[in-house]
Structure 1
Amino acid sequence: MNSNSERPPVPLWLLVSPFVLSFVALMFKSPIVRKAMFLPIVGAVIRITVIRLSPGDYATACALTIQVFKMCDFLVLTDSHLELRPVGQIALSAGSLPLFERAKWAMRLLTSPRLIGWTSEPKNSSIPPRPTETSRIRFAIKQTIYLALHLLTVNILGITLKLSPGFLQRGPGLAGSGWGRRSVDALQYYAMVWTWISISHRIWVLILLSTGRWMPSDLPPMFASLGNAYTLRRFWGQTHHQMLRRVTTSHGSFVSEKLLRLPRHGRLSLCIQLYVAFFISGAIHHWGEYMVMPLNGFNLQACGSMKFFLLQAVAIHGEDIMISVGRRMEWSFGLKSTWRRKASKVVGCVYVWQWFTWCFPIGVDPLVRFGVIENGVQVEIIQEACKFFGKGCNFSA
C-alpha cells in the first residue's frame, strides 16, 4: 500500500465495537469481569489503528482513543459502580440496580464526560454557569439559532483557512509564516475547533431536550468566556471545554496517590498530576494522529500532539512559579483599581494568545501535512446559496 487511496475501509462494526463493548462492560456486576473487559476494547482500537483511518476521520480517531482512556478510568482505575452515582440515586452501588436501571446508568455515564448531574461533578468553577432559562421550547429555539450561526461560521472559516498558505497540505507550514499571519492563523484554528465542538454539543443538547427528561439548567455551555482566559491554567482549566477533565485527572490521581502514595494536596502531588494530565491529553491526540497518518513517508515521531501538550504542562508550571514568587514578594502591580484589573486581564489574554501563536504549529503542522484540514468535513452553505441564485462561487486559494 503506497497511498491513502489504497487503505482498506474499516468495517462499521469494528468502528462501533469499542463503544458497544464499553456499555456491555459497565453492565457486569463483578469488578474483575469489568476490568477484564478493558482488554477487548483496547484490542478493537489497536486493530483499527493497524488498518488506519483517512485524514478526514481525525475526529473519529480521537473519539476512539478517548474511549480507551475513559474506559481505563471507569473499568480499571475506578470502581465505577461504587464511586460514580447520579445525584438522587438512592442505591449505594449501580450493581444493585435492576438490569434496566443499570443500563440507563451505564448509558448516562458514557454520555456524560463532564459528569454534570453526578455526585462527582467538578465543583471548582471548571463547568460554565448553568442556563437560567426555564422553558424547554425557548431554550431549544436559542440552541437552533446558535447552531445555524455556528454552521455559517464554520463555512466562513473553511474559506479563510483555505486562503491561508499555512493550512495548505503542500504549503510552507504554519511555522513558516510571519508572526502577524501566524497570530491570525492561531485565532482561526481555535475558532474552528471551538465552533465544531460547539456544534456537536448543541446537537446533543437538542437531542436531550427532545426526550423531555432534561431541563435547560442541566445543560451548561461547553466553553466558558474567553475573557477569563488570562492565564494558561485558567484557559485549560476553565475556559476550554472540559470533556477530558475526568479522564486526565483520574489518571493523575492514580499515579500520585495510589502508585507514589503522595499527600493528595501536596505540592509534588499536584505537580505530578499536572504533567500526567497533559501526558494523557497528548497520548489521546498523538494516537489519533497516528491513526490517520499516510501509509508511507511518516512515522510516529512525525506527530506533534505529545510535544504540544507537554509544553502546556511546562508553561503552566512556570506560570505557577512566577505567580507564587510574585505573591511572596507582594507584587500587586497597582491592581487595586477596577480599570487596572481589567487592563491586566487584557494583557493576560494577549499573552495566552501569543503563547499559542508560538506553539500551535508544533501540534497543528503535522495535521496540515496529513491532510486533516483540507480533507475534513466541509460546510458549504454560502457556496450552495450562490449556486442556487445562479452566480456560482469560487473560493479556491
Structure 2
Amino acid sequence: MSALPLTPLPLMLLCNTIQHLIVVLILGFSSADSILRPALLPLLLLLTLYTLPLNDAIQHPVVHGLVNFNTVGVLFQYLDCACISRWSYAAGGPTSGAGGQRNLRAEPKHGPSTTGIKSWADILRRLRFGTSLVTTWRGAGTPWEVKYTPRFPQVPSRARFLFQTASSLALELLILDALSLPKGGTRIENAVTFSWDRVRLLSRLREVSGDELVCRLQTVLGFWVGTYCAIRAMHHVLAIVGVETGLKDDERRRPVFGSLGQTYTLRRFWGIFWHQTLRQKSGSPAFYTTYSILGLRKGGIVTRYVHLCLTFVVSAVIHLLSEEYPWGIDWNRSGTTRFFVTQAVGILVEDVVQSVFGPREPRWWAKAVGWVWVASFVFWSSPAHFYPRIQVVDSSGGGVPPISMLRPLLDHLSAGKLM
C-alpha cells in the first residue's frame, strides 16, 4: 500500500517544524564561520516560500497572520544570527558587529564547537541556546536587548503579573470581538470600495466624498486598533504560558508596546511606542548593506538616512512575505513598500523641522501639534499598506475574533425581538 498524502494542516506543521529545527541545530551546533550557515540560507528561503501558502490550513485570520509572521521572522532571525551577527554557542553570543550588534564575544579556537559534543547535557544546552535565539526576538534582559524594549517601572510579583496580564488579555479579546461585529462588503464590493484609486487622497481631494472620508477613518482606526490588540493578545498568551511553565521569567516577558504618549513624532511612534520585535531583523540587514556592502562612512548625514530607508525597506519585505505573498497579492498591486518608505521620508521631514527649532525637550503644545501630525500622516499613508488585502476579502459576514462573546449575545437579543 502506498502512503497516504499529508493533509494541509499536518504538512504545514511539518514544514514549520523542519524550518525551526534547521535554524536551532545550525545555531546550536555550528561554529560562527561554518560554511553551512550561508549555504543553507537559500534552502531556508525556499522552504519559507513553500510553507507560507500552506499556513492557509489555519482558518482563523488573526492566528493565520501571526503564524505567517513567525514563519518569515524565523528566516530573518537566521539571516541575522547565523549569517550577519554570527552567534555561536561556543562564544555565547554574537561574534560579528556587521549587523550593528554590540557586546561581541570571541569564539575560542579550541572551544566547544571544535572539541565535539561531550555529553547529553551538552546537547541539551546547545538545543536550549538555539531555541532561545529562535524564540527571543527582542533579547529582553540580555546584554543584546533591542533598543527601547519597554521595561516595567517595577518588576511585578508572579501573582500580580498573571492577574494584570490575564485582565489585559480579556480586554483585548473583547475589543477584537467588538471590531468584528460590523459587517463589510463582499469581495466584489470591497474591490471597488478599497481600490487603488481610493488609496490616493491629496491628489484627488476635490473628488473625495464625506462618506469616503468616514469609511477611510473607520478602516484606518480599525486596522491599527485591531493590529495593536491582536499583537498584545498573542504576547499576553505567550507570557502567561511562559511564566506558568517557568520557560520565560517576568523580566523577559516585558510589555510588547511602549507608551502611547511617545507618539508625537513618527520616529518615536516606530522606535519607541510600536513593538520592537522586528527591529533587529530589519536593522541588521540594513546595517550590513549600508556599511559592509555600500561602504558608507559612519556618522555622515547621508549614511544615516540611507540606513534608515533601508531599515524600512527590509521591514517592507518582511511584511510583503508575511501578509501579501500568502494571499496571492501581486507585488505590482501592493503598496506595502510605498507605505514603509513613506515613513522614512516622514521621519526625514521631522528631522529637518526639529533641526530648525533645536534639540530641546518639546513643550506640551509642541507635543500636541506632533500628535496631530502623526495621526494625520498615518491617516494619509496607511491605506497603501492594507487596502490591497481588504480588496480580496469577503467581509460581508463581519470579522472573525479569536473568541466571540458579543456576537452570540447580539444574535440572542435579535432573536428575542423577532419572537
Q: What is the aligned counterpart of 1:190 among 218, 224, 242?
A: 224
Deviation at 1:268, TM superposition (A): 2.3
Q: Distance in 1 between matches of 2:318 and 2:285?
A: 13
Identity of aligned residues (%): 23
Gap runs ≥5 in structure 2: 1-6, 95-102, 114-121, 200-207
Q: What is the aligned counterpart of 2:70 among 63, 66, 74?
A: 63
Deviation at 1:289, TM superposition (A): 3.5
- Asked if the contact 2:180–2:401 (Cα under 8 Å) also holds between the matched residues in 1, the reply is no
Q: Which residue of 1 aligns with 2:243?
A: 209
- Asked if the contact 1:77–1:254 (Cα under 8 Å) also holds between the matched residues in 2, the reply is yes
Q: Which residue of 2 aligns with 1:20?
A: 21
Show the 5 A alignment for 1:144-159: 144-159=166-181
Q: Distance in 2 between matches of 1:305 and 1:359?
A: 10
Distance 1:370 1:166, change over 3 A: closer
Distance 1:158 1:167, change over 3 A: farther
Q: Distance in 2 between matches of 1:167 and 1:224?
A: 39
Q: Distance in 1 between matches of 2:324 and 2:223?
A: 20
Q: What is the aligned counterpart of 2:112 among 92, 96, 111?
A: 96
Q: What is the aligned counterpart of 2:85 among 70, 75, 78?
A: 78
Instruction: Indicate whether 1:169 and 2:172 are aligned.
Output: no
- Asked if the contact 1:279–1:306 (Cα under 8 Å) also holds between the matched residues in 2, the reply is yes
Q: Distance in 2 between matches of 1:163 and 1:370?
A: 12
Show the 5 A alignment for 1:128-147: 128-147=150-169
- Asked if the contact 1:132–1:216 (Cα under 8 Å) also holds between the matched residues in 2, the reply is no
Q: Distance in 2 between matches of 1:259 and 1:134?
A: 45
Distance 1:209 1:168, change over 3 A: farther
Deviation at 1:166, TM superposition (A): 12
Distance 1:376 1:370, change over 3 A: farther
Q: Which residue of 1 aligns with 2:39?
A: 36
Show the 5 A alignment for 1:237-316: 237-294=271-328, 299-316=330-347
Q: Which residue of 1 aligns with 2:118?
A: none
Q: What is the aligned counterpart of 2:48 among 41, 45, 50?
A: 45
Q: Distance in 1 between matches of 2:322 and 2:246?
A: 35
Q: Distance in 2 between matches of 1:39 and 1:325?
A: 47
Deviation at 1:117, TM superposition (A): 1.9
Distance 1:247 1:41, change over 3 A: same
Q: Distance in 2 between matches of 1:203 and 1:378?
A: 12
Q: Distance in 2 between matches of 1:148 and 1:130?
A: 20
Deviation at 1:364, TM superposition (A): 0.9
Helix, strand or coil for the counterpart of 1:391? helix
**Deviation string for 1:88-128 (max 9, x for gaps)?**
x9x965973832212111111111111112211135xx222
Helix, strand or coil for the counterpart of 1:132? coil
Distance 1:232 1:215, change over 3 A: same
Q: Distance in 1 between matches of 2:23 and 2:83?
A: 12
CA RMSD of aligned residues (A): 3.2
Q: Which residue of 2 aligns with 1:3?
A: none
Q: Distance in 2 between matches of 1:168 and 1:17?
A: 40
Distance 1:386 1:289, change over 3 A: closer
My pick for the range that moved more, 132-141 or 195-204, is: 132-141
My pick for the range that moved more, 267-276 or 96-105, is: 96-105
**Deviation string for 1:167-188 (max 9, x for gaps)?**
9735512647533442343222
Deviation at 1:280, TM superposition (A): 0.6
Deviation at 1:216, TM superposition (A): 2.7
Q: Which residue of 2 aligns with 1:365?
A: 387
Instruction: Indicate whether 1:322 and 2:353 are aligned.
Output: yes
Helix, strand or coil for the counterpart of 2:151? coil
The number of residue pairs the alignment matches comes to 366
- Asked if the contact 1:158–1:379 (Cα under 8 Å) also holds between the matched residues in 2, the reply is no
Q: Distance in 2 between matches of 1:168 and 1:157?
A: 20
- Asked if the contact 1:230–1:346 (Cα under 8 Å) also holds between the matched residues in 2, the reply is yes
Show the 5 A alignment for 1:354-393: 354-371=376-393, 378-386=402-410, 390-392=412-414
Deviation at 1:203, TM superposition (A): 0.8
Q: Distance in 2 between matches of 1:75 and 1:43?
A: 17
Letter in 2 for 1:72: L
Q: Which residue of 2 aligns with 1:114?
A: 138
- Asked if the contact 2:169–2:233 (Cα under 8 Å) also holds between the matched residues in 1, the reply is yes
- Asked if the contact 1:134–1:215 (Cα under 8 Å) also holds between the matched residues in 2, the reply is no
Deviation at 1:237, TM superposition (A): 0.5
Distance 1:311 1:20, change over 3 A: same
Q: Distance in 1 between matches of 2:383 and 2:332?
A: 15
Q: Distance in 2 between matches of 1:239 and 1:134?
A: 21
Letter in 1 for 2:306: I
Helix, strand or coil for the counterpart of 2:413? coil
